């Protein structure tokens, strides 16, 4: 077997000590809790990095990752590999109905006539399906309600998913959940039908500002109070103290009356955060 093939196929196992070093580091950097049950998954995902870097042991990888050089160039790559980025257009669709039927009309009664823009944040936006869904829903709403305007900020810790989100190019079957009328209005189809792709049209792309943000940072750099936060299927990877810390940070950034949408398997029950439940997995800041 030649050397390159060997390198390509090689799979290195991770000692418990290296797993401890890595899981503590990942927890500190990203808040993501790697229980021992996740060791095999971490090993498999990081083996790809070892092969790329032509390294033969996780001890070497840890030494490199924790060095100044590694912190500058490998940290971002490591985060790309360890984060779970599953997402979809119109995921958990009942949230979008509740947003349009309840939350926005409420917000308009409070602010609409004063020329404010609804400020929306997709926090943990992955490859962009969630913020583009929001942009379609809100653009349709603006068409029917003259004077209504909005801003969408979309952030993620992973630079790889943000790059894909900015490009806004998806395989055509990914947009199956998008209603036909919206597909016609907001999506462009590739000419080459042997490789069926769609791209979000430029007008909709312009509605979203993408940037990198780590919930573990002390400062999020928000310029204005937020009216709506979608933070779905992200805190599920954090332990309780981290969930509380992150949600209290969000709370301080929310305008009075603002809403936060969590994933359908996430609950704030039992967390010390002053948000009130108004709908399944939707919470409101009272004042």
Ligand X SMILES: C[S@@+](CC[C@H](N)C(=O)[O-])C[C@H]1O[C@@H](n2cnc3c(N)ncnc32)[C@H](O)[C@@H]1O
Phi and psi at 34, nearest 5°, equal -100, 95
> Contact with ligand X (CB under 6 A): which of 22, 124, 228, 282?
124
Look up residue 164 and give its two tokens. 């894909």
Span from 18-26, 140-148, 157-165, 200-208 in contact with ligand X (CB under 6 A): 157-165
CA-angle at 126, arms to 235 and 188, nearest 5°? 150
Q: In which order are the strands placed within the sheet that holds 169-171?
A: 169-171, 197-200, 187-189
Query: Which listed range, 151-159, 169-177, 197-205, 220-228, lies at the site for ligand X (CB under 6 A)?
Result: 151-159
Would the CA dihedral through 55, 59, 60, 66 be positive or negative? positive
Whether 156 is catalytic: yes
Binding mask 15-54 for ligand X (x = CB under 6 A): ---------------xxx----------------------
Q: Does 91 bind ligand X (CB under 6 A)?
A: yes
Residue 86 makes contact with ligand X by CB under 6 A: yes
User: Two tokens at 167?
Assistant: 């490009």
Cβ-based nearer residue to ligand X, 47 or 126 = 126
45 noted as active-site residue: yes
Q: Does 121 bind ligand X (CB under 6 A)?
A: no
Asked if 140 contacts 182 with a C-beta cutoff of 8 angstroms, the reply is: yes
Identify the CA nearest to 66 among candidates 16, 110, 122, 22.
22
Give me the active site residues, please. Answer: 45, 156
Point out which residues bind ligand X (CB under 6 A).
30-32, 83-87, 91, 124, 126, 130, 156-158, 161, 213-216, 232-234, 263
């Amino acid at each position: 077997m030649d050397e390159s093939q060997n390198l390509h196929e090689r799979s290195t196992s991770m000692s418990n000590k290296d797993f401890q070093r890595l899981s503590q580091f990942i927890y500190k950097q990203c808040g993501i809790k790697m229980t021992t049950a996740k060791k095999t998954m971490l090993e498999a995902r990081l083996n790809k990095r070892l092969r790329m870097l032509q390294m033969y042991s996780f001890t070497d990888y840890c030494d490199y990752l924790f060095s100044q050089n590694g912190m500058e160039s490998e940290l971002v790559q490591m985060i790309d590999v360890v984060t779970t980025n599953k997402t979809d257009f119109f995921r958990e669709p009942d949230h979008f109905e509740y947003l349009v039927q309840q939350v926005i009309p409420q917000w308009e009664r409070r602010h609409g006539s004063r020329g404010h823009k609804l400020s929306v944040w997709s926090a943990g936006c992955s490859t962009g399906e969630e913020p583009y869904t929001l942009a379609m829903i809100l653009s349709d709403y603006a068409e029917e309600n003259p004077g209504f305007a909005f801003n969408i900020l979309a952030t993620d810790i992973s630079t790889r998913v943000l790059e894909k989100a900015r490009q806004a190019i998806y395989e055509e079957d990914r947009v199956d959940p998008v209603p036909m009328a919206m597909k016609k209005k907001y999506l462009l189809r590739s000419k080459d039908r042997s490789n069926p792709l769609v791209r979000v049209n430029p007008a909709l792309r312009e509605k979203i500002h993408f940037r990198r943000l780590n919930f573990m940072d002390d400062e999020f750099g928000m310029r204005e109070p937020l009216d709506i936060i979608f933070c779905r299927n992200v805190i599920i990877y954090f332990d309780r103290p981290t969930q509380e810390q992150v949600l209290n940070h969000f709370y301080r950034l929310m305008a009075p009356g603002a809403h936060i949408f969590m994933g359908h398997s996430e609950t704030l029950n039992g967390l010390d955060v002053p948000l009130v439940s108004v709908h399944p997995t939707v919470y409101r800041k009272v004042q």
